[in-house]
Amino acid sequence: MDFQNMCMGCMEIKPAGLNTCPYCGFNIITYSNKINNDEQSIIEINRRTMSTTSMPKELPQRPLPIGTMLGGSYMVGRRLGAGGFGVSYVGFDVDFERKVAIKEFYPKGYADRDVTGTNLVPRPGARGAYFTEQKEHFAHEGKVLAQVEEQGIVRVLSFCREFNTAYIIMEFLEGEDLAHYLNRRGGYLPVAEALEIMRPVVKSLALIHERGLVHRDISPDNIMLTKQGPKLIDFGAALGKGEHPEGPPIGKRGYAPSEQLKKGGVVGAHSDVYSLCATLYLLITGQKPPRSLDREKKDEIYNISDYGVEINRVQEAAIMQGLAMDYKLRIKNAGDLYYLLYVYGVKTESTVECLQKQVRESSTEVIMNKLERERKKSKTRLAYIIATICVLVLGCMIISVRAITKKLQESKKGTPVVITDDLGNTTDESDSHSVTEDDLHTYIDALYDAVDSDRQSAGYGALNKDKAYEAAANAGVAKCTQISAASQSEWSDELTEAALETMDENGITNAGWVIRAYSNDMTVEAIKEDIYAAIEDANKGIADAIDLMSCNKIGAATAISGDGTMFWMVIYR
């Protein structure tokens, strides 16, 4: 590896002899001068105000020299940012030759660099004692996080101790942070999209809370939107729950609860819940909640619906309960929040009164038991569906295929997503049961291969088959095989209801879907083209619509009814 010509700004190999990186524009001389100038500027300000009552300004946290090695494996690049709790860097893993992110424990005002420019020296007194104590917590949390692999949080690769402090090494995520994405979208998002973005973050944070850790710095600029989905980043401020009487206030204005901003506050998983709900509040309304310390004096927070937003009343109540000023009245952890938003909150029989009762009575154990019951119910439901399909395939006659396809063709009008016809094909009733279960799996694989080939030819990435979407699609087509209707409008309504129930039962939102029905002599190529056309029709008039050529996830399934009609469902996002 040519480390001599590696850019310390982006970790790419740049042409020899260039001071400025042609890829990211980083110049090490300009970088070093800025660091020195920032320090000298504050030193000069402090010198001029020595005789006044003004408090001296803290010097900025001086970053490690570029090229410093940590643990013998990680090379430190440019500083990415510095906050109250530490400094983050771009880095390079020389063993695996990959770019990484590095977080250094370096709370501002509690330690200083010594003359070597690398070692940290604790300040005297209580501040130094806090630095030494929390450094050990930081190292412990780094070890715990390195054992966690969750979809919605950044992966911690390792940790190390160097220069009288500790470092967490994380995967380097390419993408856009949620704050920039929100600005690009005009400052707020549809409710469904906001909830879907936060779903993996809340779910993954529930596991972190189970392990006794608290993030303490959740905000839109600490959530990255990547090709793998949304991820919560920057666990540099993560600590075990409890009182933290000493140390810098952690959290950003509008997102941090009051217990994080003053000494003696009881910090816990409930603190992260406040920040999660504050982020959701901003995403949906376009407005940050008032600063929590201001709310202590006069609480003037508005409900989400006061902004004219149409939102499920139970989900709104859950978000507002998560923003309660008294942490004892707040939703207790991310597991509770996930259940109340994404499981209980979408049930048709849910009420705000029952939600508030659940918050009062909830605990991690209670919520996890509820989630386990939901999981078992889903397994039972799936087993029932599979049994039903077997019975139907063995000969349960519902309606003749010609009558079905005629109704499907008539149902096209007024149904933007469920669009069906038989493409002029006829059915030979003598072989209406000739399609086997193995054939159905073959058809699905052939469809995936055909769509994948189209995507690759068009310059898109490989097809990403999603197991959750596939399971939902299987449940959807199973429902379709049981439908019997007397009119085209009733048929259309039944199909639509089957799709909506399937999406709801499987917790899938903000995804496109289409259901089709065909006679069993249709070719896969014809089916693929028809599904393309159906999605194109469904997307008409929808801004930023996604199709199978550009989607990130897809799940497809097919089932055959007793009379030989093949039902297909495709879910995509």
Flag whether 276 is in a domain.
Answer: yes
Q: Which pLDDT score, from 0 to 100, does residue 238 have? A: 64
Q: What is the pLDDT of residue 426?
A: 35
* CA atoms of 99 and 442, how far apart (whole Å): 41
Q: Give me the torsion for CA of 435, 438, 439, 445, rounded to 10°.
A: 160
Is 189 in the same domain as 101? no
For residues 133 and 189, state if they share a domain.
no
Return the CATH number at 123.
3.30.200.20
Residue 255's H or E segment, with its range, is: none
Query: What are the residue ranges of helices labelled H in 246-363?
Result: 269-285, 292-297, 313-322, 334-338, 352-361
Residues 247/134, Cβ–Cβ less than 8 Å: yes
Q: Kindly provide the b/e burial profile for residues 140-170, where b requires at least 16 CB atoms within 10 angstroms of the residue's own CB.
A: ebbebbbeeebebbbebbbbbbbbebbbbbb
In a domain, 379, yes or no: no
Q: First vs last Cα of the chain: how many Å apart?
A: 39
pLDDT at 206 over 70: yes
CA dihedral 384, 505, 444, 532 (to 10 degrees): 150
Q: What is the 3-state secondary structure (H, E, C) of 51-76?
A: CCCCCCCCCCCCCCCCCCEECCCEEE
Domain boundaries, position 514: 397-572
Residue 369 falls inside a structural domain: no
Q: Determine the Cα–Cα distance for residues 553 and 141; give it in Å rounded to an integer.
A: 33
pLDDT of 488 higher than 70:
no
Give the model confidence (pLDDT) of 400-425 as tens digits. Answer: 333 444 443 444 333 333 333 333 33
pLDDT of residue 252: 83
Domains contained in the chain, number? 3
Under 8 Å CB-to-CB from 96, ≥6 apart: which residues?
none
Indicate whether 354 and 417 sit together in one domain. no
Same domain, 316 and 267: yes
Residue 265, in any domain of the structure:
yes
> What does residue 272 show for φ and ψ, rounded to 5 degrees?
-65, -35
Whether 513 and 418 have beta carbons less than 8 Å apart is answered as no
Residue 377 backbone phi and psi in degrees, to 5? -60, -40
- pLDDT, position 545: 65
pLDDT of residue 418: 34
Residue 224 lies in a domain: yes
Report the CATH number at residue 484.
3.40.33.10
Look at the chain and count its residues. Answer: 573
Residue 430: pLDDT band with limits 50, 70, 90: very low
Same domain as 331, residue 241: yes
| End position of a domain, from candidates 342, 362, 382 | 362
Distance between alpha carbon 296 and the CA centroid of its chain, in Å?
31
Does residue 199 form part of some domain? yes
Domain check: are 263 and 351 in the same one?
Answer: yes
Q: Which of 336, 362, 388 is the last residue of a domain?
A: 362
In this structure, the answer to whether residues 24 and 96 fall within a common structural domain is yes
DSSP state of 109: T
Query: Which DSSP state fits 536?
Result: H
What's the mean per-residue pLDDT of the chain? 81
**Within this chain, do residues 20 and 88 fall inside the same structural domain, yes or no?**
yes
Give domain status of residue 292, yes or no. yes
**In a shared domain, residues 182 and 121:** no
Q: Give the type of residue at 236.
A: G
Cα separations in angstroms, 289 against 199, 221, 276, 286, 371: 20, 16, 12, 10, 30
User: Does the pTM of the predicted model rise above 0.75?
Assistant: no
Q: Which range has the worst mean pLDDT, 98-102, 152-156, 269-273, 504-508? A: 504-508
Among candidate residues 316, 344, 362, the one where a domain is terminated: 362
pLDDT tens for residues 209-256? 988 888 988 999 999 999 989 999 887 666 654 444 455 667 788 999
Per-residue confidence band for 544, with pLDDT thresholds at 50, 70 and 90: low
Q: Which of 210, 138, 134, 222 is nearest to 175 (CA)?
A: 222
Percent of the chain with pLDDT over 90: 41
Asked whether residue 367 is assigned to any structural domain, the reply reads no
My answer on whether 141 and 193 are in the same domain is: no
pLDDT at 382 over 80: no
Least confident of 1-15, 251-265, 454-468, 536-550: 536-550
Question: Does 180 lie in the same domain as 165?
Answer: no
Question: Are 249 and 136 in a shared domain?
Answer: no
Residue 188, CB half-sphere, CA atoms under 13 Å: how many? 14
Torsion of CA 211, 217, 220, 222, to 10 degrees: -80
Pick 127 or 276 by higher pLDDT.
276
Cα 114 to Cα 122: distance, rounded to the nearest angstrom: 10
